[in-house]
Amino acid sequence: MRLRPAASPALFLVFMLACSSDSGTTPGPIDQVDGPLVADVAPVRALTNVRVVDPTDGSITAPRTVIVADGRIVTVGPASTTAIPEGASVVDGAGRWLTPGLIDMHVHMRAGEAESYVRAGITRVRHMWGYPTLWTLIDEIERGDRVGPAIHPLSSGIDAPPVYWPVTQLLTDPALADSLVAELAGRGYTELKIYQDLSREVYDAVVAAARARGLTWAGHKPSRVPLGHVIASGQRSIEHLGGYLGLSASALSDAVQETARRGTWNAPTLAIQDRLQNSPARADERRRIVKALFDAGAPLLVGTDSGIDVTAPGTSLVDEMAEFVRAGIPLAHVVRMATIDAARYLGLEGEVGRVAPGYRADLALFAANPLEHLEVMRTPVGVVMGDRWFALEADTR
């Protein structure tokens, strides 16, 4: 059972933080449905004549029939021979491409934006700053009362003055770190959000308290804590390439190698930083760092920082993926980062991130091959979330 927050003030104005190509002819966008999305709910569903994309190796099958029962995939078999269970709801894939649902690993989602993620084929998000009524939104989505992606929340940010964002957890005394971490754990958070002005002493106290309770921590590299210390501490992810920018070539090489050795994740949020800073030189530097991390084998996360009115909720994931491609990372690898690699970060490896028997039915159907045409991922034909099918393509007959 997930613990709920204690009684708290009314919802703050939702906020969030600024830190922060494919080749060939791309098919035109589909005509998408207007108005609120309505799910077709069925305990058993068959998606017929679909080409299954496997992000583990970039392979694509011949036409398949995918059977979903009670929210999980039970069969992936040849379209010509796989029997459709009696009474199953059938979706004709018409030869289109079926992928795992996409995962945006850095968002600040407002309730009214939730549906936009599903419309973009995003079935899960990592929410980077908890707020009092976030748990209500999570429950609404889980119950099916609101259309939206599954939310994996971090706590509100732990920081020193000044306060940049609402519900910041201010901490300047290391002796108070344990009680604050205990309070956040009691509210149901399992990962803490580290913000940018913590002292090294307070940072270390938060880390010790989190480790003692089996919690993880992620977020910014505090400006007063060296990058090497953050990496060595076991921080799970570093957002916005904090600490890597501006390093000399040799220092960057050392940092990249240590990042890879420790398995520290990075969520670069390239697209939003390009918009906020508008510096081609900085954009090139960020792309070079991302490529260096990729080449070294350091794990990377695709995240948009959407929810602060700079990047569009949902579709901006394609903008971020395009930045990775511009950095020199093959599109197939970027799709893997936004699916199975993100699932691994979330502790859902073997649960989501593939179209395979036993996996949860988090699925997106596209009109063209997403490993060749990145832009097609802005407008899925449909999305499966458990026992629900959302038809996103307008009926133009």
For the chain, how big is the Rg over CA atoms in Å? 21
Q: What is the pLDDT of residue 26?
A: 52
For residue range 184-215, list pLDDT tens digits in order: 999 999 999 999 999 999 999 999 999 999 99
> Rounded to an integer, what distance in angstroms lies between the CA atom of residue 192 and that of residue 218?
6
Interacting residues of 241 by C-beta distance below 8 A, sequence separation 6+? 266, 268, 286, 289, 290
Do 174 and 210 form a contact (C-beta atoms < 8 A)?
no
The structure's pTM equals 0.92
Mean pLDDT of the 334-357 span: 98
Place of tokens 């063209």: 368
Q: What is the mean pLDDT of the chain?
A: 92
Q: What is the pLDDT of residue 35?
A: 76
End-to-end CA distance of the chain: 47
Q: Before 162, cis peptide (omega within 30)?
A: yes
Q: What stretches of the chain show up as alpha helix (H) in DSSP?
A: 114-119, 134-143, 177-186, 200-212, 227-233, 249-262, 270-277, 280-296, 316-326, 331-336, 342-345
- Structural domains of the chain sorted by starting position, each given as residue range(s) with its CATH number in brackets: 40-100+354-391 (2.30.40.10), 102-345 (3.20.20.140)
